[in-house]
Amino acid sequence: MMLGALAPLVTSAVLCQPGSGWPVAPKPWVAAESELLVDHVQLTSAQDFTKAGEAYFGPDGEWIIFQAVARPPEGEAPSPHYSMYVAKLTRDTSGDVNGIEEPILISPEGSANTCGWLHPEAPWVVMFGCTFEEPREENQPGYQRGTGRYKWQFPAETEVVTRTIREIYEDRKDARQAPAEFDLAARHDVNAPIAMFTHDGYDAEGSFSPCGRYVLYARMIQPVSKNLDLFIFDTKTGRHIPIVEDEGYDGGPFFSPDGKWICYRSDRRGDNLLQLYVAELAFDSEGVPTGITREIQLTDNEHVNWCPFWLPSSKDGKGVLVYATSEIGHLNYEVFAIEVDASKDSDSLRKRRVTNAGGFDGLPVFNADGSLMMWTSQRGPALPEDGRSTSQIWIAKPVEKAWRDNDALFGAPEKR
């Protein structure tokens, strides 16, 4: 695993190649990103995975869930589909992340998988999109070489599933004090995933609410038109609540840290140029979501803007989203941050570039206290058989003083 740079503010800082322990030449992005990110660590390796990405933290930041394609034996072709894995972060004597333990495969052989998530109260219960077996649709998801674009796959067999991970349960000291429904003996998904619910067509891109009761997910109602809508599933009542039902693709949704708002991407214009949206949720007298009270479009440009994720300090319709964009170019997606402020016009929202490396950088997420950012990047060393760097999972520390508030991150707003 790659060790973080000890002196990231110095251009002579060196990194270690995964698995070697020997220093390699300094990378220009160490200095280029040093105002916002330091102590970069590569968590997954091209020796193990032909590609890996879309990783998310558990509530305590000790375990992560991610999708990846295992590197096959020499002479064999890799799977065209992502498998789902969990892994525990490893730390050095100072408590800094320096890698991951051996990843644990949790999805069925041959299945296509996407969008994993760990339960906020019982992280040994995980959720992800899974086809259970080889999907009939043959197109591959992910970053497409030669085009620099991302391509999505919507297998009709995909269901939102859960699985209970014994290793995480045994690792958590508080697991045996959890509610009975999360006890290992009460779970039916210990040895294999089971569907949380079933519909005809694609159901995936799910995430839990902060309290763990609600699941926000994308559902394809019209397979021919590729029209995806957003729903909330109430795990207590079994009710599916429509949230966003506009034309086009709406997906990749997440609850805000306070559970009052959601963020998502949308192809509302039908031109494959995704734009970012946030929406304020409406609730009934018992606090159950019933829909949205207002929707706010954050970006409206000629770029692909997607995979938005909330900074943990965001609340009450104000805060920050990090996201991936083609603003620098379709061959060089980068992570940007954008201000969220429901009281402002979208034209006045401030934004800032976060990553600065060649190739793809995207799918950024934070741990619960904002002390770590994890994302998918093609900045690592390439294997001869690959010819170029592959997508792998990286992690770094956000510089606290730069992320403490919106003015520190974006600069003071211009006076009018």
Q: How confident is the model over 401-410, as a mean pLDDT?
A: 97
Return phi, psi of residue 346, to 5°. -60, -30
The arithmetic mean of pLDDT across residues 380-401, rounded, is 95
Q: What is the pLDDT of residues 223-275, one digit of tens each?
A: 555 689 999 999 999 999 999 998 888 999 999 999 999 999 999 888 888 99
| Residue 257 vs residues 99, 347, 370: alpha-carbon distances, Å | 26, 25, 11
Q: Is residue 187 within 8 Å of residue 164, measured between CB atoms?
A: yes
Which of 103, 72, 67 lies closest to 82 in space, CA to CA? 67
pTM, entire model: 0.91
Specify the range with the lowest mean pLDDT, choosing from 213-227, 235-249, 322-336.
213-227
Instruction: Report the C-alpha gap between 242 and 143 in whole angstroms.
Output: 30
What amino acid occupies position 6? L
Give me the residue spans of the domains in the chain: 15-410
- Taking the C-alpha atoms of residue 140 and residue 288, their distance in angstroms, rounded to an integer, is 37
pLDDT for residue 268? 87
The answer to whether residue 388 scores a pLDDT higher than 50 is yes
Q: What is the residue type of 278?
A: V
- pLDDT tens per residue across span 9-55: 222 334 544 443 434 456 899 999 999 999 999 999 999 999 999 99
Pairing of strands 49-57, 194-195: unpaired
Task: Tell me which CATH code domain 15-410 carries.
Answer: 2.120.10.30
CA dist., res. 19 & res. 27, Å (int)? 18
Q: 258: closest CA among 318, 339, 204?
A: 318
Q: Which amino acid is at 367?
A: N
